[in-house]
Amino acid sequence: MGLAFWGQNPSFFLIAFASAGCRIHSQAPYWIETHGEAVGLRIAGWSTGALLLGPNQQLWIYPGGWSNPWPPQAHTHDLRAVAAANTTGYAIATDGRVLRFSDNRWFPYEGSAAWNASEIAATEDDKLLVLSDGKLRLFEHGQLLELGCDGVNGSAVAAAGPGQAYVLDQQGALFLSADERCDGIAAPTPLRRIAGRSDRLLGVGVDGSVWRRRGSTWTRLAAPHKYRPGQVARETRVQDVGVSAYSTWIIDSEGSVFLLSDEA
């Protein structure tokens, strides 16, 4: 199954389906594979779709036109991580610099090569969260500011509510930095990737499962399924997740991109 979106409005939900046959789904949320058979390593959701980091370390944007749903971005950089706020993208280049992507242009943060940034995330109000030397930091007023959880050696970071951030430690344990505190958050399984906003947190388990947390309740989401002509549908695992105000995206273990049905 494939899909495409038209329009630049954040509510880009005119969806056209291309299906090889009729598939009956339960009312539980399921994953819809994007058309164009993109292959990616990292994904981030933003207001008009998704940003994808491809195996060639370049940035791709979805959706493009129907015949070219994943157009590459010209004059890009070799990247190793991506993040996005509503209309602004962020990336860590392979040379260590942290970059801002806006209006189809790249803007490096001065001195960011010295941050030793390993992961980044963006808040809903367009502030940048950074794991610098493994420590959670907020970039504001031209400098990296300490947040809570300084005792955590981070492996992944995600936005939460205003003034808050999630961070994973090296063992996949989840923590919430809020009001200068660092609280452990019980998760159903050790996690390796997270993506969040104020209304929800998505997590990918070390076993490739995918979970959604709303309030204090975790729900395990269905695994993605691949549908190919002449083949039986098969289940795959998840390797990365991204969210925006209106959508949740995953990359499966084969690099394919999916959109969650109940947020489409």
Residue 25 in this model has a pLDDT that exceeds 80: no
Q: Are 128 and 120 in contact (CB under 8 A)?
A: yes
| Cross-strand partners of 44 | 51
Residue 94 in this model has a pLDDT that exceeds 70: yes
| Neighbouring C-beta atoms of residue 162, cutoff 10 Å | 11
Those residues whose C-beta lies under 8 Å from the C-beta of residue 21, and which sit 6 or more positions away, are none
Domain parsing of the chain, residue ranges: 31-263
pTM of structure: 0.88
User: Which among 63, 98, 71, 95 has a CA at the least distance from the CA of 82?
Assistant: 98
Q: Which CATH architecture has domain 31-263?
A: 6 Propeller (2.120)
For the segment 130-156, what is each residue's pLDDT rounded down to a tens digit? Answer: 999 999 999 998 999 999 899 999 999
